[in-house]
Structure formats: structure tokens, C-alpha cells
Amino acid sequence: MPRSTNQKLKLLCLCRLLWERTDEDHPMTVPELIQGLEEWDIKAERKSIYDDMEALRVFGLDVQNRKGKDPGWFLGERPFQLAELKLLVDAVQSSRFISQRKSGDLIEKLESLASRHQARQLQRQVYVDRRAKTMNESVYYTIDKLHSAIANHRSVSFKYFEYNVQKERVFRREGKRYDVSPAGLIWDNENYYLAGYDHRHREMRHYRVDKMAELAVTCLPVEGVAADFDIASYAQKHFGMFSGKEGLVSLRCDNRLVGVVLDRFGREVILVPDGEAHFTVTVQAVVSPQFLGWVFGLGAGVEIKAPNWAREMLRRQLEAVTEHYKEET
């Protein structure tokens, strides 16, 4: 049989046919594989197909040949199972920090990891209660730069902004740059945050990654970040990543709220029985409006016992909110 100019691509093309067109439910027979190769102007004989499949198997591909009913060759094990790809697609689709356009790009790449038949099962919509996607398209690349800075122990510089009612960016500090030594990234409440040492204020702070602009990794080494800095502990103390006054807070809770407390503070916290219907727990927390809102949301089931300044903060917040709902006389 005369050799075509593409004959050297034969094994690569067979690999692509198996990857894109076959799975356990969609095998390809030898005649179908020969026909598929002809699309690249590659000639093949039946016997050579068997030799090529053995070569691909030796190379490491899980090439299988099913006999009997619905016979044919197919690619068995892949880097990701279909169920795993579905999970990843759902996560990308429902993630707030990934823009709509970037979500589409990522899902298309995930589809390429499955056969074309399985890819159709990945083209689905996940209902996420009108979830808003980020308006900052560059966040995807900002996260990558931050990971690089953290790995190489380098400081970063960026501008930080908020949105006004016209959905326009308004830069803080009149557009002056923030210089920060990154300590770690936190994913909280479906947003990415950078925790790091602020060079200007000389203290640890955190910043929403999707509100950063013009991020640059500098040549300066990190400073102010303790070697034993615990990013997980930092994230746990900051409710919704809001800032506030930090301290040991003692809570008295109904027994029915044990699960709620463990979900919030972890299973390592110590629960001390307080009578038959209550328990107390002492946690290191940043007392912010978000923390106080969490306490208030649990109603009479939780009481801040100490410190007094935390009790006073809650009392003042309740009074401020009550003012909005006083009946007009």
C-alpha cells in the first residue's frame, strides 16, 4: 500500500480518534478506525491497526478491545472520570469569582478531557439562585500571579477599588498603590481574599482579589509575615472576612446549636456543659458587624457572655438597627 505524506502521524491520529470519539459506550470497530484515519489522508490495513493499538497500550494508554456484543476499540481509563468532570463543571459554573466568559472557556477545556459523547453530558446549566458573576475579568490571572508571589516569597503592589452606583470603579487612596507582603489566599463566602502584611499600616490585613487592579509582583522579599502564620486560623476568626476588634469571646448556647457552633469554629473547640440545656464555648474571634449578625441570627439561642466590650458592641448595634424600625408618631 503506498504511503501518504501523513503516514508518520498515524499513531497520533489514532490516539486522537480514541480520545475524542470513543468511550466504554461508544467503541470504534477496525473499519471505522481505518475510515477515521482516511480523514487525515492516512492509509491503514487491518493488521497494522492491531499493531498500533498494542504500541499505544505499551505507551500507557488504556486501550481496550471489546469482543462479542457491540465490539470495538475504545479508551478506557482517563485522567478524570465523567462524574469528576461533572463536579468540576458545576463548581466552575457556580463560582462567583470566575467571570461568565472565563467560565465558558474553562468548561470547554474540561469537555476536551472527555469523549465527544460524554462532553454532551457536561453541557448543562447549574441553577444557582441568580448568582452574580464577578465583573472583573482579570481576577483569573491575578490569582495566578498571587500564587507565584507567595511561592517565591515576593511582595506585591496593586490598586484597590470599589464600585459606585453607576457600576464604575472608584479607586481607594485616590488611586495610590497598596504594597503588601502576601501570606496566603483565602476562599471565603465564594470570594477570594489575599491575606498579607500591609507595608503602610504595618499590620496584617486582607483584600478581595476581584477588587484588585494592575497587580504587579515586585522584586522585594516579603516582610512582616511570621514564619508560623496560620492562614486557616486567620480565616476562621474573620467572619465574612470583615475586620473588627479581636479577642477571646465566650458564648452561651442552646444544646440544639452544637452542630452550628462546630460548623463555624471547627471540631477542635471545647464545649463546656452549662446546666442541662446549654453549653459554653470560648473562641478567638474578630468581633465585626458580620460576627454580631451571626450571633443575632441565632436569636435567643446564643448569648455573648464575655468580654463586656463585645456585649456592648452588640447592644449598640441592636439599638442602631431598632432606630430604623421605630413607628412614626
Same domain, 146 and 206: yes
CATH no. for residue 60? Answer: 1.10.10.10
CATH no. for residue 302? Answer: 3.30.70
Same domain, 146 and 225: yes
With a CB cutoff of 8 Å and minimum separation 6, the contacts of 316 are: none
Q: Is residue 61 part of a domain?
A: yes
Q: Is residue 252 part of a domain?
A: yes
CATH no. for residue 209? Answer: 2.30.30
**Residue corresponding to grid cell 444557582:** 128
Same domain, 190 and 144: yes
Q: Is residue 129 part of a domain?
A: no
Same domain, 116 and 159: no
- The CB density around residue 119, as the number of other CB atoms within 10 Å, is 18
Q: Residue 165: enclosing H or E segment and its boundaries?
A: none
Q: Is residue 100 part of a domain?
A: yes
DSSP letters along 7-58, please?
A: GGGHHHHHHHHHHHH-BTTB-B-HHHHHHHHHTTT----HHHHHHHHHHHHH
User: Last residue of some domain: 59, 75, 91?
Assistant: 75
Tell me if 133 sits within 8 A of 228, measured CB to CB: no
**Tens-of-pLDDT digits for all 329 residues of the chain?**
555 677 889 999 999 999 999 999 999 999 999 999 999 999 999 999 999 999 999 999 999 999 988 899 999 999 999 889 988 888 887 777 777 788 888 889 999 999 999 988 887 644 444 455 565 567 778 888 999 999 999 999 999 998 876 778 889 999 999 999 999 888 876 778 899 999 999 988 889 888 899 999 999 999 999 888 888 777 777 655 567 788 899 999 999 888 888 877 877 888 999 989 999 999 888 888 888 888 988 989 999 999 999 999 999 989 888 888 877 65
pLDDT of amino acid 127: 46
Domain range enclosing 246: 238-324
Query: What pTM does this model have?
Result: 0.58
Strand partners, 63: 75
Same domain, 168 and 222: yes
Same domain, 149 and 203: yes
Total domains in the fold of the chain: 4
Q: Is residue 133 part of a domain?
A: no
Tell me if 216 sits within 8 A of 146, measured CB to CB: no
Q: Is residue 134 part of a domain?
A: no
pLDDT of amino acid 138: 74
Q: Is residue 316 part of a domain?
A: yes
Q: Is residue 197 part of a domain?
A: yes
